[in-house]
């Protein structure tokens, strides 16, 4: 199944526009789509999910809809104090760092599964292999949104290609997740076109298919386990020993008592065989004496 974990939503998005985007996503082959909202600050109080409840026609086929929040991270000293509240509200969390220190914090310490950036902008730093590979080893995935390049001007596209190739080079193509970030249905592309486009930018076809399939699937599965699973508790219980009996020990296979029984049976069998041989000799002697007496 193919995934598109970034379909932006804002209060200005109408239900008809959202239905068009989701319907086209399903027709292109995407089985799961995440509606994304961008948060500049942590939610205060008990707030619900802002996404609307769609009521499509019976003939309209929609993909599986997930809810995602992208938290803009500008302060490098920001901690995870706001994440527990967001975890209870959304299916997937992502972070968008705006500075080098914030990016380092997101790669090394921040507990979010996705790092997403606007690659059409001048980030002010380069992607270095050490923090990027550390993030990949932690299970963090880097998101590349192809519609950013489609909607940008010539300068923005050049910046996007430079940032995308730098990210692919720093991660060696590992942990790359491909999303659309399509604000309307016209910005969506078929999976084959997306893979070909990323192949031109340095991401191989195999890695491109993983970026649409297995990589986002691992994010969805892991986040689902976090929200529905419970921490396992292991308790060692000291049970009472069973009463020791000699018969039980002798009857256990592989124990000394079993060997003694075998030896005893062997001795009894040998004695029986010896007694049978001695008795047969006696009978032969008696029959021989009887024959000599008759003669």
Mind listing the pLDDT tens digit for each residue in 174-223? 999 999 999 989 999 999 999 999 999 889 899 999 999 999 999 999 88
Tokens in use for 162? 């430079």
Longest distance between any two alpha carbons in the chain, whole Å: 135
Whole-angstrom Cα distance, residue 115 to residue 163?
Answer: 14
pLDDT (mean) for 128-155: 92
Rounded (5°) CA angle 103-108-109? 100
Tokens in use for 16? 């008809």
From the list 84, 116, 80, 98, the residue with the least C-alpha distance to 8 is: 116
What pLDDT sits at residue 160?
94
Say yes or no to pLDDT of 273 above 60: no
From the list 219, 119, 205, the residue with the least C-alpha distance to 175 is: 219
Which tens digit of pLDDT belongs to each residue from 104-116?
A: 988 998 888 999 9
Domain boundaries 2-228, CATH class? alpha beta
pLDDT (mean) for 10-37: 91
Q: What residues pair up with 232 in beta bridges, in sequence order?
A: none
pLDDT (mean) for 121-125: 89
Tokens in use for 161? 């290609």
- Pairing relation of β-strands 141-145 and 92-97? unpaired
pTM: 0.72
What is the share, in percent, of the chain residues with pLDDT greater than 70? 71
The more confidently predicted of residues 42 and 250 is 42
Whole-angstrom Cα distance, residue 96 to residue 79?
Answer: 14
Q: Where are the domains of the chain?
A: 2-228
Q: What residues pair up with 2 in beta bridges, in sequence order?
A: 30
What Rg, from alpha-carbon coordinates, does the chain have? 37
What is the share, in percent, of the chain residues with pLDDT greater than 90? 45
């Amino acid at each position: 199944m193919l995934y598109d974990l970034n379909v932006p939503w804002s209060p200005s998005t109408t239900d008809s526009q959202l239905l068009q985007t989701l319907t086209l996503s399903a027709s292109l082959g995407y089985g799961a789509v995440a509606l994304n909202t961008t948060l500049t600050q942590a939610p205060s109080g008990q707030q619900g999910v802002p996404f609307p409840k769609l009521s499509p026609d019976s003939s309209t086929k929609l993909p599986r809809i997930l809810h995602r929040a992208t938290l803009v991270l500008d302060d490098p000293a920001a901690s995870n104090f706001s994440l527990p509240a967001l975890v209870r509200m959304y299916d997937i969390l992502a972070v968008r760092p705006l500075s080098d220190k914030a990016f380092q914090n997101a790669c090394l310490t921040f507990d979010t599964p996705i790092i997403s950036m606007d690659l059409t902008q001048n980030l002010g730093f380069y992607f270095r292999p050490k923090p990027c590979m550390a993030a990949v080893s932690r299970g963090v995935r880097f998101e590349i949104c192809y519609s950013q390049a489609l909607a940008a001007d010539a300068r923005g596209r050049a910046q996007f290609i430079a940032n995308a190739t730098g990210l692919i080079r720093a991660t060696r193509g590992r942990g790359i997740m491909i999303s659309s970030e399509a604000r309307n249905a016209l910005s969506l592309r078929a999976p084959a076109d997306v893979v070909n486009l990323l192949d031109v930018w340095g991401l191989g076809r195999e890695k491109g298919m993983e970026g649409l399939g297995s990589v986002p699937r691992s994010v969805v599965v892991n986040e689902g386990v976090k929200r529905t699973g419970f921490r396992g508790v292991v308790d060692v219980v000291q049970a009472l020993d069973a009463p020791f009996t000699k018969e039980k020990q002798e009857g256990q296979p592989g124990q000394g008592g079993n060997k003694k029984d075998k030896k005893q049976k062997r001795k009894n069998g040998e004695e029986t065989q010896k007694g049978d041989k001695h008795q047969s000799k006696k009978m032969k002697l008696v029959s021989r004496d009887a024959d000599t007496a008759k003669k």
